[in-house]
Structure 1
């Protein structure tokens, strides 16, 4: 079943009308039974700044040749050097290839427990889904398919869908509503500026940096080759981990801060199923550590109990 087609046309800055919720073409799930090894992405997710997607990003189909892509401008590409601050003990981990901006995670200890669970953990929303059963067979590597091609194809498609979902709620994600990039009361994602100082950014600015960085990665032929015979770089898996980790942070922020908007638009079933698919994929290939997924562990555990994630 293709659930993401129903949000086709809801790009950044577009109007949210019921008539827009019509499927237009096969989605990612059309690739689940592929048995050939020549899997190629069909177009770069964004060309230029992702803040300009609006109508162009909302209505365009991914059909043009990837070999004709123009190089993206590099002036806003962030670099992600992940540092996790647990009880004031930072631990440095991976760096990406481009020596620009970076981000950190700040975990805030709290003795008080929330009286009420977040909306996405309440029934009936936590059980709302379009797909019955798990996504295990969808994310597994098909026979005779190159593993790097499979990773690249799925990351490309998942990022496109996440970018479109963010376009749906972007107008509600402002510096006033979300002055920090948080994922609940205990997790805050900070930005390391050029001086190495950890600073708070509005969530919308943080996410725009992330989207620009991922877009540039996907458009870089040396990282995500699309031409026949193109070789994947030795650090390809590391890039995939960095990309999916940042994608998870966008999921977490939206769940904690904009799930009410998702419900208002009657998209909670689509969103939950999409998230279950994403988590199934990153678990299948060990792309995101469980510690990184801590803000949404209660939801992930619930989805596992429901059999949607195995």
Structure 2
């Protein structure tokens, strides 16, 4: 499939995959292993399972970075049609509104436009995954005790990108011929978070019907 997602990134600096694994590191090998099982057309449900003898935190770290890169890319494809005017509120349909909160400027949950929310979200995740204290790159450096807690927060926020894209911008995805790519990425994400219990069912609710059609 020619990848319509790739073309977008030359024009938009903001949504470019940010984090790479250094060749030669064990995490790079794990990343390759994860990619190989996907490329082999292995059932996504099996592809997410922890390979024998590997450390779960390493496996989770590799996937979180990969999902960040891919979802970043997906949002980048529709970012030209997600504007202050079209999406003044970060939402997933009339029932779900997402407010932004962080330790700096927005200490209380704050209603923002979708593009503003997305920018803050991608920047926030980038800071987390580039922080050696949370995502150590050297094998042997232990993960912090709160690693999975941080991961759950990252993944639940990344899920909101899927919610917004599917509910408000899916026509744009279809127009670009990227529907199969986005659906595969979503399924991969869904199987991963459910395999390792990294998201509450409540948070998965906005795409529940679509998920049951696509993933069961």
TM-score normalised by the shorter chain: which range applies? 0.7 to 0.9
Q: TM-score, length-normalised on structure 2?
A: 0.83
What's 1:292 paired with?
203
Q: Deviations over 1:66-89 (max 9, x none)?
A: 99xxxxxxxxxxxxxxxxxxxxxx
Pairwise mapping of residues 88-167 of structure 1 onto structure 2 (< 5 A)?
Answer: 134-167=43-76
Inter-CA distance 210–66: structure 2 relative to 1 (3 Å threshold)? farther
Q: TM-score, length-normalised on structure 1?
A: 0.59
Aligned equivalents of 2:164, 2:50: Cα separation in 1: 29
Alignment check: 8 A CA contact 1:10 1:164 kept: no
Divergent runs of 4+, >2 A: 5-14, 51-54, 60-67, 131-134, 191-199
Q: Shift of residue 132 of structure 1?
A: 7.7
What's 1:177 paired with?
86
Structure having the higher Rg: 1
Q: Please, which runs of 5 or more residues in structure 1 have no aligned partner?
A: 15-50, 68-130, 306-310
Q: Shift of residue 231 of structure 1?
A: 1.0
Aligned equivalents of 2:137, 2:143: Cα separation in 1: 10
Pairwise mapping of residues 1-310 of structure 1 onto structure 2 (< 5 A)?
Answer: 6-7=3-4, 9-12=6-9, 14=11, 52-53=13-14, 57=16, 62=20, 134-192=43-101, 196-305=107-216
Aligned length: 201
3-state SS of 1:288 partner: coil
Aligned equivalents of 1:64, 1:139: Cα separation in 2: 22
Higher helix residue share: 2
3-state SS of 2:153 partner: helix
Inter-CA distance 10–162: structure 2 relative to 1 (3 Å threshold)? farther
